[in-house]
């Protein structure tokens, strides 16, 4: 079955350390997204990518970086500059991100990041 | 600018009674609207979507929602709650923009508790 795979499910970060969250999709979707979820705040967009080798900052990109070298993969790095990284991170994809607003996003099962 | 307001952060119902989760939105254009469900430590699953066709939208698991433009509302209902419906529900508004990007805004979520 097609879907989005996020790994690991749980991740711990030490002070000053960068960590990378994996997101892979086999839905042949063009657009991919990273969200951060904190209790009571809904989902906030970190980065998104509409095509390979292109990505754009979302609402809360500071302290994060991404790459999109392959259509299927959109890894997120949480850098040491992100001072409050403890959260639930969700990766999503959609068929396309253009002016067609009626395409739903498909989500992975998330990675929970905590500080040691 | 678009926004979404979920009017209740928590809703509690008895098993077998109706469910009503309220959502109001604002949008500059003709938006698409979605409801997603999230079980603990899982990603978001699409329940239903409105994309300017029929105003009464039927989704999975017996849920439905009615788009009321005059009231800018998109409330989610179910005639009879089941224990497995206990989860968090997100109302989402989406619209395309001139930059070719699908702008998506998530509500802050409503936690549904189902009492046996």
For the stretch A81-106, pLDDT in tens is: 888 999 999 999 998 755 555 788 99
Question: CA-to-CA distance for B64 and B53, rounded, in angstroms?
Answer: 14
With contact defined as beta carbons under 8 Å apart, do A16 and A103 qualify? no
B72 burial class (0-12, 13-18, 19+ CB within 10 angstroms)? middle
Minimal Cα–Cα distance from A96 to chain B, Å?
A: 8
CB proximity A111 to B under 8 Å: no
- Asked if B28 reaches chain A (Cβ–Cβ under 8 Å), the answer is no
Among B34, B42, B100, select the one facing A98 at the smallest CB separation.
Answer: B100
A11: contact with B, CB 8 A cutoff: no
Tokens for A25?
């999709």
Does the distance separating the beta carbons of A106 and B46 come in below 8 Å? yes
Say if residues B83 and B115 touch (Cβ distance below 8 Å).
Answer: no
Q: How many Å lie between the alpha carbon of A8 and the closest alpha carbon of chain B?
A: 13
pLDDT in tens, chain B (116 residues): 789 999 999 999 999 999 999 999 998 777 889 999 999 989 999 999 998 778 899 999 999 999 998 999 999 999 999 999 999 999 999 877 666 667 789 999 999 999 99
Q: Is the peptide bond before A26 cis (omega within 30 degrees of 0)?
A: no
Separation of alpha carbons B70 and B50, rounded Å = 15
């Amino acid at each position: 079955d097609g879907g989005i795979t996020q790994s690991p499910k749980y991740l711990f970060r030490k002070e000053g350390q960068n960590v990378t969250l994996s997101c892979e999709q086999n839905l042949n979707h063009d657009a991919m997204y990273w969200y951060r979820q904190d209790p009571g705040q809904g989902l906030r967009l970190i980065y998104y990518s509409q095509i390979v080798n292109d990505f754009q900052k979302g609402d809360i990109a500071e302290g994060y970086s991404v790459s999109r070298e392959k259509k299927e993969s959109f890894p997120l790095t949480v850098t040491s500059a992100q001072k409050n990284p403890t959260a639930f991170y969700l990766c999503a994809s959609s068929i396309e991100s253009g002016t067609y607003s009626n395409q739903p996003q498909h989500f992975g099962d998330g990675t929970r990041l905590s500080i040691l | 600018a678009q926004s979404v307001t979920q009017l209740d952060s928590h809703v509690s119902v008895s098993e077998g009674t109706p469910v009503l989760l309220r959502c109001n939105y604002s949008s500059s254009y003709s938006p698409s609207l979605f409801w997603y469900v999230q079980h603990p430590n899982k990603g978001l699953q699409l329940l239903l979507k409105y994309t300017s066709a029929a105003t009464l939208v039927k989704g999975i698991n017996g849920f439905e929602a009615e788009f009321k433009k005059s009231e800018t509302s998109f409330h989610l209902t179910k005639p009879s709650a089941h224990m497995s419906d206990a989860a968090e529900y997100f109302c989402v508004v989406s619209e395309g923009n001139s930059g070719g990007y699908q702008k998506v805004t998530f509500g802050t979520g409503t936690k549904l508790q189902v009492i046996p």
